[in-house]
């Protein structure tokens, strides 16, 4: 198996019910943050990590992404170096299915997954840090963020033990999707960024009978059986800024963060924030 990460799956087919009515007329990943849609930031995160091929997983309702990519390919030379693939997720069966439908482009290589509603920012490009950690440990690795205990029920939550490789790297011993604060094994939650190996696809495949019973296929459930039957998974406690753009407050925080850093708008925006007593 290759060690270098060149491919990334970018699922953007989510319905965005938590941020309605923003998603009444546009997909969640097309919501604008300052002057670009969320998906643009995610693609730039991937490009900064040296990704060469991006597989977008879209819903059949959303043709906007193809138009957006063609537009950007004319504007941005860095985007022109990327191979873009677009795969349709026919039914909204969950994020495990979104990854599985992109499998034909993955072949036998480790790959990155970046959910189209999470944004990360740091002095060093976050996904570059993640890929170099993968090169060291050579096992699946997830990005983790600590959140106040009352918020854990929005995310996948991990049980960890020290890995002894690096201060912020843990070995994951269990993972639970959206537990109540009482049942959560920690307050370390999974951010929508993962480096996975092709073996995870076999674990996702095993979940399809549960989808027949009307349940969504969560990547978390495949990671759980991977931990039990296949091998080790690590977590990287990310200390930079993370925005959950699947929530209204996350979108608002991202606007403030990127707005106060935007080369064209930061000066005027900060002046305005002062004027309104912030
Ligand atoms: C998904 C994952 C969850 C993860 C989250 C990060 O949940 O299932 O484990 O913590 O992304 O954003 P969703 O946002 O699709 O509900």
Q: Which residues contact 166 (CB under 8 A, 6 or more apart)?
A: 133, 136
Instruction: Determine contact, residues 211/224, Cβ cutoff 8 Å.
Output: no
pLDDT of residue 1: 61
Q: What percent of the chain has pLDDT over 70?
A: 99
Of all protein residues, whose CA lies closest to atom 12 belonging to ligand 1? 192
Protein residue with its CA nearest to atom 9 in ligand 1: 156
Which atom belonging to ligand 1 lies closest to the Cα atom of 14?
15
Mean pLDDT is lowest, of 13-27, 37-51, 117-131, for 13-27
Q: What was the pLDDT predicted at 163? A: 80
Residue-averaged pLDDT of the chain: 93
Find out whether the beta carbon of 156 lies less than 6 Å from any atom of ligand 1. yes
In the predicted model, is pLDDT for residue 50 greater than 70?
yes
Mean pLDDT confidence for 5-18: 93
pLDDT at 212: 73
Dihedral of the alpha carbons of 222, 144, 189, 111, in degrees to the nearest 10: -20
Task: Kindly report, residue by residue over 133-179, the tens digit of the pLDDT.
Answer: 999 999 999 999 999 999 999 999 999 998 877 789 999 999 999 99
- SS3 category, 142: strand
What burial class does residue 90 get, using C-beta atoms within 10 Å of its C-beta: 0-12 exposed, 13-18 middle, 19+ buried? exposed
Domain edges within the chain: 7-275
Please check whether the domain covering 7-275 is classified as CATH 3.90.550.10: yes
pLDDT tens for residues 93-144? Answer: 999 999 999 999 998 899 999 999 999 999 999 999 999 999 999 999 999 9
pTM of the model: 0.94
CA of 102 relative to ligand 1 center, distance in Å: 18
Task: Determine the straight-line distance between the first and last CA of the chain, rounded to whole angstroms.
Answer: 52
Average pLDDT over residues 42-68: 93
Residue 97 CB–ligand 1 contact under 6 Å: no
Is the confidence at residue 185, as pLDDT, over 70? yes
Q: What is the pLDDT of residue 62?
A: 86
Establish whether residue 246 lines the binding site of ligand 1, counting it when its CB lies within 6 angstroms of any ligand atom.
yes
Determine the distance from the C-alpha atom of residue 162 to the mean position of all C-alpha atoms in its chain, rounded to a whole number: 24
Task: Report the alpha-carbon distance of residue 94 to residue 203 in Å, rounded.
Answer: 14
How close is the Cα of 156 to the center of ligand 1, in Å?
6
């Amino acid at each position: 198996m290759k060690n270098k990460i060149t491919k990334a799956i970018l699922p953007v087919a989510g319905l965005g019910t938590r941020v309605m009515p923003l998603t009444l007329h546009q997909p969640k990943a097309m919501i604008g943050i300052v002057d670009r849609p969320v998906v643009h930031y995610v693609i730039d995160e991937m490009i900064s990590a040296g990704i060469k091929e991006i597989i977008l997983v879209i819903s059949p309702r959303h043709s906007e992404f193809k138009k957006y990519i063609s537009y950007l390919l004319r504007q941005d030379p860095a985007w022109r170096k990327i191979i873009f693939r677009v795969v349709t997720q026919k039914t909204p069966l969950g994020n495990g299915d979104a990854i599985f439908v992109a499998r034909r482009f993955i072949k036998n290589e480790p790959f990155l997954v970046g959910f189209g509603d999470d944004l990360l920012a740091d002095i060093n490009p976050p996904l570059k840090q993640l890929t170099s950690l993968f090169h060291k440990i050579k096992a699946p690795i997830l990005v983790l963020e600590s959140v106040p205990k009352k918020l854990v029920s929005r995310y996948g939550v991990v049980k960890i033990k020290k890995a002894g490789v690096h201060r912020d790297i843990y070995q994951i011993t269990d993972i639970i999707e959206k537990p109540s604060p009482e049942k959560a094994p920690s307050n370390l939650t999974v951010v929508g960024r993962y480096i996975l190996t092709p073996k995870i696809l076999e674990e996702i495949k095993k979940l399809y009978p549960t989808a027949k019973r009307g349940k969504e296929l969560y990547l978390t459930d495949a990671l759980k059986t991977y931990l039990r039957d296949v091998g080790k998974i690590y977590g990287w406690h990310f200390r930079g800024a993370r925005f959950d753009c699947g929530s209204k407050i996350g979108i608002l925080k991202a606007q403030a963060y990127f707005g106060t850093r935007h080369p064209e708008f930061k000066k005027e925006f900060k002046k305005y924030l002062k004027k309104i007593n912030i």
